[in-house]
Amino acid sequence: MKLHLITGGAGFVAVNLARQLLKEGQAILAVDDLSRGKRELLAGFEQDPRFNFRQIDCSDADALSGAIDEMGARVDHVWHLAANSDIPAGIADPRIDRDRTYQTTFAVLEVMRRHECSELHFASSSAIYGDLGDQEIHEDIGPLQPISNYGAMKLASEAQIRAAVEAFLPRADIFRFPNVIGVPATHGVIVDFIRKLKATPDCLEVLGDGTQQKAYLHVDDLVDAMLHISRLDGRYKVFNIGPQDDGVTVRTIAELVRDRVSPGARISFGTGNRGWIGDVPRFRYSIQRLATTGWAPKLSSLEAVSRAIDQIASEEL
């Protein structure tokens, strides 16, 4: 038996990836320290004999290595999704991104070296680019100046992986995620807005002036792109993943959530076009490289937002 190892295995993307891999007949070892991931998200898989879960902090190489040994199966594919996903928390305390993003990558690479795993699939982020103004953001652009510790530690992880490919690792994919939405939702602007409106149904308060515009990808499209990229040739592959449009403004998201959740509510905007430190106001994300490989998302940013609002509202209300 061959196993796919998924770190951060009880998280939002991991659950969707696992579902797809199981559909394709693969076996899975999912690990998660459950600091942010939730065991109940795995409820649908627990009966499946091809799905295995271990509660492990994957920044501990020995623990992770031991979990693989216990399975008695070879691991070729490692999907490294474990990371801190709370950007403001990591700005307040840089240890969070160091320990959960940088160090998990470090330990995963050590374990892959020890177990001679052949392919690493890494969830990086558009946050590695920082604020490049109005330029179109393609994969080879510079300079890379991440403005959050989250982005900094994703870039630090990419750098480690690149050096590992030079030294010992046969293959690696770098997926530079956009904002990803869908269910099971754990955080993000849609969840925030829905919860705020549940608490105060007459008014939705929005950080910033609502003009921030971002591209959003539905998690179904994301997983589809990850699997597509993993099957392309190449030793070290770096891809932006995202929709082929300029995105949706915060104002539009606020209005769509309001219409779905609490149609009569007033929306109150703040000032400035940054919601918080580490948040880039506008972002032109090129997925030209991915498009030339024949992949396209099924949903636009607006369609993804609309579907996700529907899905999350059904979960939350």
Least CB distance from residue 130 to a copy of itself, whole Å?
7
Binding string, residues 258-287; x marks residues near a copy of itself by CB under 8 A: -------------------xx---------
Q: Which residue has the tokens 């623990």?
A: 63
b/e string for 186-215 if b means 16 or more Cβ within 10 A? bebbbbebbebbeeeeeebebbbbbebbbb
DSSP classification of residue 184: S
Angstrom distance (rounded) from CA 63 to CA 70: 11
Asked if 58 interacts with a copy of itself (CB under 8 A), we say no
Angstrom distance (rounded) from CA 109 to CA 168: 10
Of the listed pieces 24-32, 141-149, 294-302, 308-316, which binds a copy of itself according to CB under 8 A?
A: 141-149
Pick the closer one to a copy of itself by CB: 116 or 310. Answer: 116
In order of 15, 137, 138, 283, the CA distances from 142 in angstroms are 33, 9, 9, 14
Angstrom distance (rounded) from CA 194 to CA 204: 9
Of the listed pieces 105-113, 188-196, 220-228, 291-299, which binds a copy of itself according to CB under 8 A?
A: 105-113
- β-strand pairing of 266-269 with 171-177: unpaired
List, in sequence order, every beta strand (DSSP E) within the chain: 2-7, 27-32, 51-55, 74-80, 119-125, 136-137, 171-177, 179-181, 203-206, 213-214, 216-218, 236-240, 248-249, 266-269, 284-285
Tokens of 281: 């106001």
Of the listed pieces 74-82, 155-163, 183-191, 198-206, which binds a copy of itself according to CB under 8 A?
A: 155-163
Asked if 289 interacts with a copy of itself (CB under 8 A), we say no
Q: Please identify which residue in 78, 153, 180, 256 interacts with a copy of itself, judged by CB under 8 A.
A: 153
Please state, as a whole number, how many other Cβ atoms lie within 10 Å of the Cβ of residue 183. 20
Asked if 104 interacts with a copy of itself (CB under 8 A), we say no
Least CB distance from residue 16 to a copy of itself, whole Å?
28
Q: Please identify which residue in 159, 267, 302, 313 interacts with a copy of itself, judged by CB under 8 A.
A: 159
Q: Please identify which residue in 162, 228, 282, 289 interacts with a copy of itself, judged by CB under 8 A.
A: 162
Angstrom distance (rounded) from CA 128 to CA 152: 6
Pick the closer one to a copy of itself by CB: 130 or 247. Answer: 130
Binding string, residues 204-243; x marks residues near a copy of itself by CB under 8 A: --------------------------------x-x-----
Asked if 163 interacts with a copy of itself (CB under 8 A), we say yes
Asked if 73 interacts with a copy of itself (CB under 8 A), we say no
List residues near a copy of itself by CB under 8 A. 91, 94, 98, 102, 106, 109-110, 128, 130, 139-149, 151-153, 155-156, 159-160, 162-164, 166-167, 236, 238, 277-278
